[in-house]
Structure 1
Amino acid sequence: MKTVLLIRHAKSSWKDLLLADFDRPLNKRGKRDAPVMARYLKTQKIAIEKIFSSSAKRARKTAEIFSEELQSKVVFCDQLYATSSEELLAFINEQLKQYDSIAIVSHNPELTELSNYISDQYIDNIPTSAYVVLTCNDEILKKKNCKLVDFVYPKRKDIRMHDE
């Protein structure tokens, strides 16, 4: 069985309007929510072999927070920034040739589009710092062949009780 986590980067800052999109850092809420989400994920005992992250600053920082909490190595990939959901799916399937359980830290709308394409359940939007856990009995992910196991987002009531 293959397990894929789709993690949307934490909330980013728009404070400096002259800053390129790629270089936007996390804002105060992003810095607060990402560690809470990473700690909660750790309690779920999902083994992640490798984290692949967009190299954009906000995604990098989010991935580093998850990596530290989960004790999983992170690889930063330029191709996970400004990509299409089709390219994202191809990237994931390539990684699943080597790994059974991976996390992808990237951006919307591509993450939500991909989740809805491969999942048995529809999600309107994957918010910042949220993640989707998908499992698949096939060797490759394709249209509607994954089971959505969990959809975890910062405003979910059971998440905040883990914020210690």
Structure 2
Amino acid sequence: MKSHTITLTINGESHIVTVRSADTLLYIVRGRLGLTGAKPGCLNGDCGACTVNVDGWPMKSCLMLAVEAAGKEVTTIEGLKETPIQMAFVENFAFQCGYCTPGFIMNCHSLIEQHPDADDQTIKEWLESNICRCTGYIEIEKAVKSVLKRGAHLKAPME
């Protein structure tokens, strides 16, 4: 299989990596770069545990090839340091076992950035892309709403 040497910009840092054409972004981020916040779940795009942000939008990294990420800004959970949505997840107990939490936080971070005036329907639609089997989504919705209400997304990270 053919290899490519590409530059990935992840969490603001450039990484030169040699990847195979079939390597997923999830595989490279976790296995080669040691950023293990994005989790392998279903590996077919259903669960959202592997969600990262690509150019500000949520992307399931198990579905994206690493070569597709070249030239884009990729943010993993490790790149969100004390952002308002992370604090809101803690304040609202928006997690149980925690396995899916990084993917939810990444998705919610994008939601808040892309839709700072999101209504209940928009929030519900965005949360449909991630699955949690340990809890309901009420606490996660409360976390998103608390950030939107405070306008805290306008100033990140929290001080």
What is the TM-score normalised by the length of structure 2?
0.28
Question: Which of the pair has the greater relative contact order for Cα pairs under 8 Å at 6+ separation?
Answer: 1
What is the TM-score normalised by the length of structure 1?
0.28
Structure with larger Rg: 2
